[in-house]
Amino acid sequence: MKDQRPSRAGESGFSRRAFLQGSGAAAAATALAAGSGVAEAADDKTKVLGPGPTAITLKVNGADRQVTVEPRTTLLEALRFKLNLTGAKPVSVDDSSGASMVIIDGKPASANTILAVACVGKKIQTVESLGGSKPDPVVTAFLHNDAMQCGFCTPGFVVAVRAFLDKNPKATEDQIRKGLNSNLCRCGTYANVIQAALEVVKGGSRG
């Protein structure tokens, strides 16, 4: 089950909180160069981004999008404020709510625990890509099973269920109960989320 959890802040060497509160932009940029793997090695010298705003290209929902971000800008902040993709929500400072969940290179990840510059060259898929005129079956299953109340956690949950079922297309109710604990809902929609996920497993809610 461990590999189905979104990536943890610690794994990439950052804590967003320590990052935002503890260090200035210059220190952040150095940390980034040391830890993220996006900085390119050129002539044995690591390329350091920043400290000021930097233009990067993000591949979001299939399109290349130019954004200017600070090295410390999280992917969530870039999506929400630079690209107006507000489906992923800022609920927790770490990834403990799942509300900011997106899919990066096919894997679920919290957009608030990864920096925008670390996502260059990666395929980012947000909940908005599951909508449109022919919504993803997970979306329609959420609708039919009323797996939402206030709806603030719902986009994150939709992404989590999509990512979980991609890995476990035949998941049983028991596996769903054990495997979908990444996301939090204060309104208490879990009973209906389980039903929605089961409906998708059974091949319901297509198209």
Partner 1 sequence: MAKKYSWPDRGTTALLGKPQDRIDGIAKATGAAKYTYDVNFDKMLIARVLGSPHAHCKIKSIDFSAAEKIPGVVKCMAMKEPGNEVRWQGDPIAAVAGESEGAVAEGLKAIKVEIEPLDVYVKDADLAAAEAAGRTGKVAKNVQLEREAGDDDDEDKFAEQEIERLLKESAVVVEAHYGIDVITHMCLEPHGATVQWEGDKLNAYLSTQNVSGTAGQFASPLGITTGDVTVICDFIGGGFGSKFQVDNFNVTAAKIAKEVGRPVKLMLDRDIELKTAGCRPSGYIDVRIGADKEGVVTVWDSQHWGTFGATAGGVDQGVIPYVFNPKNRRRRATPIITNASPSRAWRAPNHPQACAMSQTAYDDIAAKLGLNSYDVFLRNLASVSNEKQNVYQAEMEIAAKLIGWKDKWHPHGKGPKKGAVVSGLGMAIHTWGGGGQPSNTNITIHPDGAVEATLGSQDLGTGTRTAIAIITAETFGLPLAGVKVNIGSSKYPPSAASGGSVTIASVSESTRRAAQDALLKIFELASKKLESEPENLEAKDGRIQVKSDTKKSLSWKEACSLLGMMPLEVKGEFKRRDDQGLSSSQVGGVQMAEVEVDRDTGVVRMKKFVLVQDMGLVINPKCAQSQMYGAAIMGIAYALFEQRILDPTTGAFLNAEIADYKLPRLGDVGEIVVEIYQPDDEYNRGVVGLGEPPVISPGAAISNAVCNALGVRVPVLPLTPKRVLEALERARKA
61 binds partner 1, rule: CB under 8 A: no
Footprint on this chain of ligand FES (rule: CB under 6 A): 148-154, 185-187, 189
Compute the least distance from the CB of residue 31 to ligand FES, in Å. Answer: 33
- Nearer to ligand FES among residue 14 and residue 164 (C-beta): 164
4 binds partner 1, rule: CB under 8 A: no
Compute the least distance from the CB of residue 142 to ligand FES, in Å. Answer: 10
Per-residue mark of binding to partner 1, 101-140 (x: CB under 8 A): -------------------------xxx-xx---x---xx
- The dihedral formed by the CA atoms of 192, 193, 195 and 199, expressed in degrees to the nearest 10: 140
Q: How far apart, in whole angstroms, are the C-alpha atoms of residue 53 and residue 61? A: 23
25 binds partner 1, rule: CB under 8 A: yes
31 binds partner 1, rule: CB under 8 A: no
- Nearer to ligand FES among residue 30 and residue 192 (C-beta): 192
Only segment of 32-40, 116-124, 187-195, 198-206 that touches partner 1 (CB under 8 A): 187-195
Instruction: Name which of residues 139 to 168 contact partner 1 (CB under 8 A).
Output: 139-140, 142-144, 146-155, 158
Residue 120's binding partner among ligand FES, partner 1, none (Cβ under 5 to 8 angstroms by kind) is none
- Nearer to partner 1 among residue 70 and residue 199 (C-beta): 70
204 binds partner 1, rule: CB under 8 A: no
Residues 6 or more apart in contact with residue 39 via CB below 8 angstroms: 32, 33, 46, 47, 48, 49
3 state SS for the chain? CHHHCCCCHHHHCCCHHHHHHHCCHHHHHHHHHHHCCCCCEECCEECCCCCCCEEEEEEECCEEEEEEECCCCEHHHHHHHHCCCCCCCCCCCCCCCCCCEEEECCEEEEHHHCEHHHHCCCEEECHHHHCCCCCCHHHHHHHHCCCCCCCCCHHHHHHHHHHHHHHCCCCCHHHHHHHCCCCCCCCCCHHHHHHHHHHHHCCCCCC
- For the chain, the C-alpha Rg in angstroms (whole number) is 18
Footprint of partner 1 (CB under 8 A): 20-21, 24-25, 28, 70, 72-74, 77, 80-81, 84-94, 96-97, 99, 126-128, 130-131, 135, 139-140, 142-144, 146-155, 158, 176-178, 180-181, 183-194
